[in-house]
Chain A
């Protein structure tokens, strides 16, 4: 293998910047890159970034975290698509689960991604037990498909009732439709998500079709651009589950890219924290409008089975569990009619942005408060787009909109804004940690993105966290995640088996088959892996319940069997149930609803020591003097350091500010920052061991 064949680049295309992380596995060397994103023609920034590392043709592999799918969903810019359903059920997609937008308030409507005239019905019916009551007529399906294609549909979804129980009618319809459909973008629901609940399955299948032309043409464009540069290596995409997949799989299942970008960030934050000796962390990405939180327990990210992208847009496929609250740097502070200070959810975004950007907004934001308090350096704004920030304008806005109504002076008002925002972030962290029974003393915060490190002090104090770990390069965390993410493929199959009298051998055969199928997808991805693990999970409940608990099965396929018994399943179910709820229900029979299978191709170990500061780093070289920063009702003279020049082992007592091109770390009084052997900054309470 040539040296060139061991180079990998992670590329995270965000709304403003494209971040890159280049890693030479042979030499253990890395480089980072940041270029402006080119919305609408991402290939331009993508290639410009890659060229920064030398000839693109020399790269062995590229792994990409993308928001193309996310944006297409949020902005409703997917393709025009068609849907064929069981007769009588074309409106399932539009009728949702009969929900409302908000608990309180009756306004707002809903437009599904497939309008009613592009939803065709055909005669067919499968019963809940899998019996086919009415076979499908392929000629009728072909006629419906031709009509939808003629009306401009670029992709086709086929969703029949009870197809999870028997996919025969759907498969026959798929064959008939594919024969007349002008492109490969045709799928049936049992091929995308063979799981019970028709709305969720239809929504997922339809959103997959909605993204297929968009993601497909995006990947095609990138493929073309890479080919034109002579690139002949492997090109992969990060999925919402935090694993990577081949572009072939991404084209088939684009709905799995919905949280591609954020998932990569969580993966990297988890890996960095684990290497630094923090297996339990809460990652926090503070952007312009939102704060995204994710929980990592014993080095493992939490996956949620379903995500609602927006009202009525449900995707049911495992995704890294990311909770979002409306508190970001651009969140607007105001005093409500009841006299309570609120920060967000309204946001000034990045345009016009905070008052201090001088781009026309006059209502104070969280960033304005941070600037007024001296926590953000007004002379060296992050990102480099602005020369300096307008502190006076920010202070005036805070005085008018917050200080006067509350009867505070402007500095106290600015501090109150930060505290309320801190409380919201702390609340989000509590929701994913304490509220699920995790002890905050065992967790550290890992802020990444541009803004999170400004608030680590409050997160430590308000939530009672063990400390915070600021990665050495917070701004390229997602790009780094692309490089280190495992390959992963998730499958689900509704089985509806009663545990009493379970045919364990039949379930075993099913598990072995599912495992083989999932493995095949991982193997076909073609990236080097050390081994492939198969993980089984059952969704189970007591007969009569509709919700399920996830029951992890500690088994693997050996010699063509998992060796699983009904008694082992019962024991695993009771353990999982007891963890979730205080009471077991002896005597009530249990049932297996779904079988979940994941194949995970473990990537070769990535040595994060490569990121550590070099021997040239020293405390003296890093010192940038002091500046006044407002903490706890008074100005403090805070030491300021160039963060990347700090040596391993450096200890900086608060109050201090650590600056680097893409992030600012605030060390509050009473806290100490220490540079660990990997170059991360670890912030803890004075006297506390991290």
Chain B
């Protein structure tokens, strides 16, 4: 491989990222389901011919896929090694979470790029399809104990063989979903993105020559490796332990631990999760690939300068035993993988906060709250409204946490109320910031949110959430945020789920409501250190109630306070404010 000058390298970096960015944009704009189109639950990139390592990734794609996609491409490489027959014009399709990470809804399309008869690299696209069968519309079946109850699993198979679309496979896909048109639209969007990437990348190779581009790939990887090592060298050597829990797995109401021993030694790091709970019965298991991808997301959020390619993982050793819920295999259910990786990312932030308190970030709200409402319109047509909801980010050395943000694994935006109400027979009755939901601190967390939705037809309710029992933690003396809460109306009044954050087998009638209250982020620094004017502003704007100020900040605020604290007397400091009506 030829050496490459630093200027050409910088030029190529920008060109290649633009190609991946434009693939992302093409899918967002042409996708059918809002999880891709609005929530950007998708990703594109270029991957190494032999190893599948990430070479280039778009800057807008879903962060969790940045780490996971390499495993997906590896699964195709293994398939080709086993069965042979790789040809120009092929495109593989699969959604196997055990091989490629994440969960069944994420469909991966992987296409080889050939140059002069030789495999040069892979282009890949992943996007979250709305529904792929299983017991629950949308796939988030909180009661699944096997993958088969979550949907249909496709190992890597040829969707397109030497340019010819396999219509049989398309028909099988269509027959195994509640929303065939939506999936067909998304599949075409992903093919649009691959077509475009192939054209753009081909033009780039013509312009610069294969050898130069190959040399650039190697150099990017070296550079990411060097930057990650530089970041690790700046941390004091030692082992930093941190753990947090998941509420339950939806089947057994017992907490599950994610425990990390993070060891820094010079410019290397070991991430050892061996003390974590064993694989769970319910759908909150993740595969090794997903666990590595989640670690990567956490590291990228802390070391933001390190580029997004495989080189940055070289200095890191992972210990993720198959005997833990983080290294689970088939057929363990995985639909709720997001909850587990969010907790894992929080644990990474907690351990890194010990290693480098000056850059400590408190826990983000840490649950996606996958909520589905599903029913039939008066004309008999089926409707499924499925969305993820926001919460607060953690306080940090620079600022309070951001209120109503998306999760660290995502760059998703939430669909507007008006789009949802135009598409589904629902009526939102509240869409608001949730007072007292932020963890107190010198820099408090961002606020979580309240969403209250009235169904205009009878509707089945499904929720897969978390943080119902242990709140997002604070760091460097900051306090925890509020717990996640969910409730629904019945003829007898409001009801809440026995599994706290997971709901199935609930049906509401037309005119009844569900109400979701999400956590804020944890606080940074002792609450007593909060500037008086900042706390006064929190009170004036209602981010913090007088009762909350008294409880969390020791603020004397007069009569209102006594009244509020009186009401709160029976509650845990986990702070279940904002009583569901």
Contacts and interface: CB of A to CB of B under 8 A. Distances in A.
B185 A588 contact: yes
B416 A420 contact: no
B523 interface: no
Interface residues of B, number: 87
B14 A424 contact: yes
B227 interface: yes
B404 interface: yes
A427 B10 CA distance: 10
A94 B404 contact: yes
A431 B60 CA distance: 15
B474 to A, nearest CB: 14
Interface in B371-412: 389-390, 393-394, 396-406, 408, 411-412
A103 B18 contact: no
B403 A109 contact: yes
Contacts of B33: 544
Contacts of B191: 582-583
B432 A89 contact: yes
Given A109-B400, A128-B418, A104 B301 contact: yes
Contact of B402 (A109, A164, A199): A109
Interface string B142-168: 000000000000000000000000000
Contacts of B22: 435
Nearest to B187: A583
Interface in A52-73: none
B34 A546 contact: yes
Contacts of B540: 117
Contacts of B230: 337-338
Contacts of B10: 340-341, 420, 423
Contacts of A105: 301, 304
B210 interface: no
Nearest to A97: B413
A124 B411 CA distance: 33
A420 B419 CA distance: 43
A164 B196 CA distance: 36
B401 A109 contact: yes
B446 A546 contact: no
B223 A339 contact: yes
Interface in A565-600: 580-583, 585, 588
B106 to A, nearest CB: 19
A427 B418 CA distance: 37
B200 interface: yes
Contact of B399 (A98, A109, A582): A109
A197 to B, nearest CB: 4
A558 interface: no
A101 interface: yes
Contacts of B196: 582
A97 B414 contact: yes
A102 B304 contact: yes
Contacts of A125: 427
A161 B417 contact: yes
B227 A338 contact: yes
Interface in A199-215: 199-200
Nearest to A417: B7
A517 B427 CA distance: 33
B9 interface: yes
Nearest to B179: A544
B277 interface: no
Given A95-B431, A100-B393, A337 B14 contact: no
A88 B399 contact: no
Contacts of B59: 103
Nearest to B388: A98
B560 interface: no
A545 B32 contact: yes
B294 to A, nearest CB: 14
Contact of B30 (A100, A200, A336, A581): A581
Given A100-B406, A545-B30, A108 B14 contact: no
Contacts of B406: 98-100
B50 interface: no
B32 A106 contact: no
A416 B231 CA distance: 26
A109 B395 CA distance: 9
Interface in B560-576: none
B227 A337 contact: yes
B430 A88 contact: yes
B11 A462 contact: yes
B433 A91 contact: yes
Q: Which of A127, A496, A585 has the most CB of B within 10 A?
A: A585
Interface in B169-187: 181-182, 184-185
Contacts of A100: 393, 402, 405-406, 411
Contacts of A583: 30, 188, 191-192
A630 interface: no
A260 interface: no
A95 B403 contact: yes
A426 interface: yes
A198 B420 CA distance: 11
A41 interface: no
B414 A544 contact: no
Interface in B424-449: 427-433, 446, 449
A300 interface: no
B96 to A, nearest CB: 26
A235 interface: no
Contact of A338 (B14, B63, B223): B223
A116 interface: yes
Interface in A140-179: 161-162, 164
A144 B427 CA distance: 25
B7 A420 contact: yes
A103 B402 contact: no
A89 B417 CA distance: 10
Nearest to A95: B404
B404 to A, nearest CB: 4
Nearest to B392: A109
B276 interface: no
A546 B421 contact: no
Given A99-B406, A100-B393, A128-B421, A547 B398 contact: no
Nearest to B59: A103
B195 interface: yes
13 contacts: A98-B404, A100-B402, A100-B405, A106-B394, A107-B399, A127-B427, A338-B230, A427-B18, A544-B181, A544-B185, A545-B185, A547-B29, A582-B196
Top 6 nearest A-B pairs by Cβ distance?
A98-B390, A97-B413, A88-B430, A98-B414, A116-B541, A95-B404
Given A90-B432, A338-B305, A547-B28, 9 more contacts: A88-B452, A98-B406, A98-B413, A100-B411, A106-B394, A109-B399, A128-B418, A337-B231, A547-B30
